[in-house]
Amino acid sequence: MISMTLSLDHLRRCTVAADLGASRTRIYLKQSGLIVDEPSVVAVNTKTGALLAVGSPAERMAGRTPANIRVVRPINGGTVVDIDMAQRMLRAMVGPKLRRAFRRKPLLRAAVCIPHDADPLARRAALETLIGLGARRVELVDSLVTAGIGCGLPVEQPEATMIVQVGAATTQVAVLSLGSIVAAEKVPIGGETFDRALVQHLRNQHELLLPSLAVRPLHQVLNGEMPQVTEVHGRDVATGLARTVKVDPESLRLAVRTPLTSLLDAIRAVLHRCPPDLVADLADRGIMLTGGAAQLPGLDTTLRENTGMPVNVAEDPGLCAVQGLGAMLEGRVRPVAVPEPAN
């Protein structure tokens, strides 16, 4: 049975909480806390089908493997795209910790965060992935609500709170009140989008190919922490030889302006659909940034300058969704306040 629910009674019966994000998988075990926080990556031998590595060891293999070893991501944009491989990955990640839980409580219930506008196929894939691990029932919970709870927002109160969940592949923007989503917007912009924009700029303007690990230091361009001229090391497109070029940080900032504009447009669209009373709440409370890419340098400053609203980055933003779902499992969340119907 698929249920998109915030029934705390149902969730308190669950033992396992999962956040199957685009870049990382996080598993929370009731009364034990977070037991898995690993990249959603699998390395598999294409000849034998054997699983060679999962998580961080598999991620380090990306771009460095021979032809018979394939590095795959069974979860894309928060949606399971390869159920069998996702089950094998989760089984290897949880290992004996979850097997002990299954022995103590064979009829296990699980809860999983899914994107706000997940279609029926995406919900079915998440459900089948968890059932394949042995769960008897799976509760599907909106990741925006769980992230709001996880970062300490009073989502159950009749006051507006705005959350911007910046993932690896997508960003979700929502205004929450009384435990529900008033307005929401999803854009295909995330941490990987900014990386691709920087890589593409260096390829087009300097004919330089960057190794994947060399992109992260360039994130400092967003908050102006780089010197006036920066040296970037990579591979020449034409010759294939190593080469160093000098880059103007301002040109890199221009390269990421397009995805930032799309993100700002999504925030404005959500505000436009909100009742005026809730927008007045947001002017004081501002925006809470969560998600794995929320700590992108300068992102909070850019949003603050362009919206005129206070912007805060959650503590451990990548863990907010799973920690919020874990709090619901543990019974640390108050019931949503629902007014009594008038007679």
| Binding-site residue ranges | 168-170
CB 301 within 8 A of CB 164: no
Q: Of 149, 167, 174, which is closest to residue 332 (Cα–Cα)? A: 149
Rounded Cα gap, residues 261 and 318, in angstroms: 23
Q: Of 18, 57, 312, which is closest to residue 164 (Cα–Cα)? A: 312
Residue indicated by tokens 């190794």: 211
Secondary structure element (H or E) that encloses residue 295, with its range: none
Secondary structure element (H or E) that encloses residue 183, with its range: strand 180-187
DSSP 105-169: -SS-EEEEEE-TT--HHHHHHHHHHHHHTT-SEEEEEEHHHHHHHHTT--TTSSS-EEEEEE-SS
Task: Calculate the CA 340 to chain-centre distance.
Answer: 36
**Two tokens at 207?**
């004919």
CB 146 within 8 A of CB 106: no
Rounded Cα gap, residues 55 and 36, in angstroms: 10
The one-letter amino acid at 91:
R
CB 101 within 8 A of CB 31: no
Please enumerate, by residue number, every residue annotated as part of a binding site for ATP. Answer: 168-170
Query: How many CB atoms neighbour CB 271 within 10 A?
Result: 19
CB 178 within 8 A of CB 167: no
- Which pairs from 29-37 meet CB under 8 Å and 24+ separation? 29/97, 29/98, 29/101, 30/326, 30/329, 30/330, 31/330, 32/97, 33/326, 34/319, 34/322, 34/323, 34/326, 35/94, 35/97, 35/98, 36/93, 36/94, 37/319
